[in-house]
Structure 1
Amino acid sequence: MFIAVQITMAAILLVDPVLLYTKVTTDYDLYGIKVAMNDRIMVSADNLYLVWYILPISANSSFICFTYYNETTCDFVYSIVVPMVDSTLFVYNCIDYQGNNLIGFFASNTTCDFLLVNEQIISNYSTQDNFVITIDGNGTGVYGFADDFIFFYELQAPFKLTVWPNIFNISPRAIDIGSSMQYGVLVGYCQSTPSTAIECGSILALNNSLSIPDRVNDISIRSNLNFNWSDPRINFLVAQSRAYSADTTMSVSIAWRTRQILIGIQSLNIVLLYAFDNVSQPISTRQNEIGFSGFGKSVAWLDNQGQKAVILANRYVYLTKQWISSSVHIYDVASDGFTDETQPVLIFPNSEQTMFEVMNVVLIQLTCSKSGTLAIFDILGNTAALISAPAGMYPYTGVPYFTSSFVPCISGTHRNYSGLELCTPCPNGTFSNNCEQCARNDSFCPYGSVQDLSYSTFESIEQNQEYPESPETTVFDDLLMQNMFSLNAQSPHCIRVSPMTWVLVVFMLGIIVAITAVVAEAYCPRTHKIQSRLKQLFQKVDLVGEGEVSKF
């Protein structure tokens, strides 16, 4: 009986692939990229509420549109892409209730009226865990890569879908074409041995629907990762390339103006920078401390100039995967390079650009438009956008909206280009928001000056300080000495009770006795008896030296 049940279950699994499909609607980090944007719209997918959110890109925007899954046959959306050109269509790939792999797209001619244009099933293939898509530079076609197949989907009538089997031996994790129509970059895991998979990538030549993309050049990744023997990453191992895990996702972005490629491997806490024309070894790499993971979870070029790299710098404890922090780093690769010593020109959030009120602090994805606007996506499915601010202003995020606003640079700071960065203090010899040159001969214009001031306007301050006086204290010894040896003649009573009066009286009596004794010694020899008696008296009194006050 037990054997019969096992055979029945195996047969069901073979005919119904949806039973193998893992779906967690509250996990926004599961299966693909859930946010996309261009300079007109930002789109995100919500598998919990079965809806796409479409946000027009403008400053201080709280207006949002909704397009529901029920217009499609989707059960769980993997990814979204939008054209780099200013278009209001968006493409999705998803899994339907039968476990089929789907591709489709919506388009709109108005602000919020999105209509399903086309949707197709990628037939004859089981549910794919590793299933990524990207759109070409003109927004006319979509390429898809899965473990078992590759396809090209035309976004113009008759919406032709061409599918080929995947012969590349790459289990895909990320794909990017950028503004190109000719080449793309695919990264993922390659099965090097039956029990070991390694990070790998390829440069692909694109042929639209004519033929399967050509594998032009392989990107050396694993061979260029050299970790210290004490680094726990040296033991990192992916056993099966096709086994999906959100912890082993990768990210890639290509800038065609500079012909450079960013590849992020969050499990190894590292981002690699390659030249498109030489992928045998990276130009440079950057990692974010040993003992952590998450750096490079998502990467992008800030705009179509390809000079600044945007990296999602998450921090997880390497062994436990416990989240510590999330931030977005922007590096000026063209000016500063890209190494472990390179400092970012912006870290978001910061003291002047705090996290959006509508966002959770745990970020999981980001993307950028060609004009330099940045979209971020959090663990709860919320999205927000930092819009590139014009010169003389910077993006301000302390607003209850989904997009940033623009505020002027504070006095003494400036920025003479559009971007996301904060304004910087004016250099020495300049002042105000425009960093105007100080014109006075005796100008006082230090770093970050607000006004052109003359040195003569400052008063000279005397820096000499006298030695501080000791505080007054009550010292009873001093008071006693002062009162004992002073004679207060203000009244007869004061004279009578003064210690000095009685000292003088005793002193005078002593003098009289001494004089009398000396005179008696000289003129009255019989006075020896008197002296003996006095001596005996002094000995009995014993005031000083056993009575030896003086020698007679």
Structure 2
Amino acid sequence: MPHAVDISNNFGIIAGFIQNDPQERVKYSPIIYLLNFLSSNRHPIVIHQYIPIATNGTWQDLLSNADANIYSAKYDMSISINSRGDVLVGMQHINRVFLFSVNVSNPIQLTYISRNTNGRSLGNGRSVAWLDNGNVAAILVNIYSLSYQWSSSQIYFYDMQSSIYNSNSTPLSVFPNYHQLLPESFSPVFINIISSTTSLTLMDVNGNLLIFNPTPPGFYPSIPATGSIPLITVSEACPLGMYKDQTGINDCILCPTGTKNSGNATIQCTPCAPDTFCSLGSVSEISQSALEIIEQVIAYPKLPETTIFDEILIQNMFHIGLGHCLLVSPLFWTLIIASLAILIVIIMGMLKFFVRHPKCAQIRKRIQWIFKKTDLIGEGELWVGGLVSFSIVVLVSCAYAFSNAYLKQYPIETSTDSYFACDVSIRNAKFETHLQTLTIPPSETEQKMFNLLNEQRLSLNIDFINTFINCDVISIQALFGNNWSTMRWSTCQNINSILSLSIPLPYQHISIQIILAQVQTISALRGG
């Protein structure tokens, strides 16, 4: 019972089923015949055959094909032969595509090369075709359940020259994709593909046609939204972060890791500078410093020896150490001022007892008058009190500066090292814990704290790394009850190919959708 046939100049391939002995469990087995057209009697004869054997323990091994004698779409097969004698045979009922080779000048043997399978489903190899003079294979993959319920349709394009074709092969491209979308007038259920040397025609379940024309390097076949049938693709430049270096109907390819395409080169991607972040599909070079992990969880420091501010202040005021501790010590600077005051007292004594010049007496009296004005101890009566007052002012100023800086060391999440003190680890916080399970209802006093925590305003911060997406194409929706409502971001900017988005959250537990209206590559996401 033949189900598919294809012929070349001097040989042909037929695929179908043969009937087994009625006593066997498998009633009908798939088979592939090689027909030779070079026989002396000029009639095609079967010269070789291949019977696919299911692997023991697989779901294909359980098939009996009892109804294969009655036509059913799930038993459809497909065959395509290229000019070099390479043969593709698709058998969707076992979800496999076989690759064979036939010697064109002497077609006497069907040589098995490899096969491709697509998991526990039906539909792989619904239709097959050769493109680009036999260098590219197009495989129509329909995904059906084992009860033959349609799920999806895609066309896989494989480079058959530079890579090995098997179940682990990576396709050149897959149609449809995020920038080759099907128009509404075309059904998502595909049933057949037919190829010429370079072009490909796709038929949907309604008989509509989509014709893929080849495009030059740097361009891909785009589907116009005209609505007219048949649909014919047009040439469009590769998106940023992608390239295409050959003529054909296949899609553009993502730039490999370590390369980029910023829009200036669509035929090939340019290498990125060393020590930069260029992942698959990069549009720009991102400095490694921009990828530092943002720590949002901060470990509480060790509890200080004392938490009484007066004791902390006194300890800091009258402590002298070395290096950094010496420079931030209030006592050190007070002693400096006191030393200057002692020096002035010595000078004043010398002017009084050892220098007998009227001019010096006037200078001494003038200095005494100045320091009496600054006397805080004797209320302007003692000039020596003015000197002491300078030392006291320095000490009090240092105490004020320390207190003000210490006050700003709260909360701990926004504080930094305490460089204003000898101990840079001190914080304006007391750390203790009374952990308990959340299943225990909080007391009335504790509930107030829980309410404060629940009422905190949170923001969702997301970075789209290595992308040219701009803020104009971003829309945000939040789920309120059963309805999605539009929201607005608080800040949005793209700096050095990193789009930073901040979204204020109305609740702590809420579903957010970020919709991008523009097709662009994104190398990485960072959120918090």
**TM-score interval (norm. to shorter):** 0.3 to 0.5
Higher relative contact order (CA 8 A, sep 6+): 1
TM-score by length of 2: 0.48
Larger radius of gyration: 1
